[in-house]
Chain A
Amino acid sequence: MTTTIETQNLTVQVYQLFIKATPEAIWDAITKPEFTEQYFYGSRADFDLRQGGHYRGLGEGDAVMVDGEVLEAERPRKLVHTWRALYDEGLAAEEPSRVTWEIDAQEGGFSKLTVVHDRLEASPKTAESVAGGWALVLSGLKTLLETGKPLA
């Protein structure tokens, strides 16, 4: 088991799921604080949705948990931003990584959401930290959009 963890390569992480929602609804759920606080560890997203704009994930008392720069914002299809985790000193000292959100409309009112977290080569602690989190966050996002309620 321990060798598994040691050799695990987490520098490119790919997450994908189908959500019964329009791409616009998913875009809003990713970018608006009233949605993100219901599934993203209670943090509120603060996006300036243009190239070079800021990204922040705000925790309690508006503490900045994550920050970054918007590299690409093409509503409702693609959002790319950098990611620097500030919730832990060890993580904050590492290089910023990159998060890409891709939303593709499917048949039957579904959309396919793909999240790629990469450029993690110089940020092994961040890679390990987020590897445990994305699946839970995205499961919560799906539940919120499909049922109107956060995960219990």
Chain B
Amino acid sequence: MTIWSHIIERVEDDDRVFRALADPTRRFLLDLVFDRDGRTLGELESELEMTRFGVMKHLRVLEEAGLVVTRRSGREKLHFLNPVPIRLVHDRWIDKYTERRVSALADLKTTLEETG
């Protein structure tokens, strides 16, 4: 029971991350906060051809997935990239199934580039 509810909770967390990432506008917003952390809604909005409401809606999905965390600074709400959920997905999925193969390919690439 506890193990199952734990697994289901982790799956729901992962679902939110994958769903949040499955949209080009939201990936663009993440890139924006990655480029420069702590941006305001106004700054993010100015980079997109979209209404303020639309940008807020996308930011909310990113926040619910935990990919963006907001902090108040005086009157402003600043948006920060939170890499932890991506790390959790990485540790849960990518590490487990592909790390060895990926590193073998990376080694091959390095070897080929060095010799070439």
A interface residues with partner B (beta carbon < 8 Å): 4, 7-10, 12-18, 20, 114, 116, 134-136, 138-139, 142-143, 146, 151-152
Contact = CB atoms under 8 A, between A and B. Distances in A.
Interface string B78-92: 001111111110010
A139 B84 contact: yes
Contact of B35 (A7, A136, A138): A7
Contact-size category for B: 20 to 34
Contacts of A4: 31, 34-35
Contacts of B38: 9, 12
A111 to B, nearest CB: 13
A9 B32 CA distance: 11
Given A139-B87, A139-B91, A142-B88, A16 B66 contact: yes
A134 B83 CA distance: 9
Contact of B9 (A15, A17, A20): A20
A94 B84 CA distance: 26
B75 interface: no
A20 B88 CA distance: 14
Q: Which 10 A-B pairs have the closest CB atoms?
A: A135-B87, A14-B80, A135-B83, A17-B84, A9-B36, A139-B87, A16-B69, A14-B69, A135-B84, A139-B91
B101 interface: no
A25 to B, nearest CB: 15
22 contacts: A4-B34, A7-B36, A8-B35, A9-B37, A9-B38, A10-B37, A13-B37, A13-B80, A14-B82, A16-B82, A17-B66, A17-B84, A18-B66, A20-B6, A116-B71, A134-B83, A135-B86, A138-B84, A139-B87, A139-B88, A151-B91, A152-B95
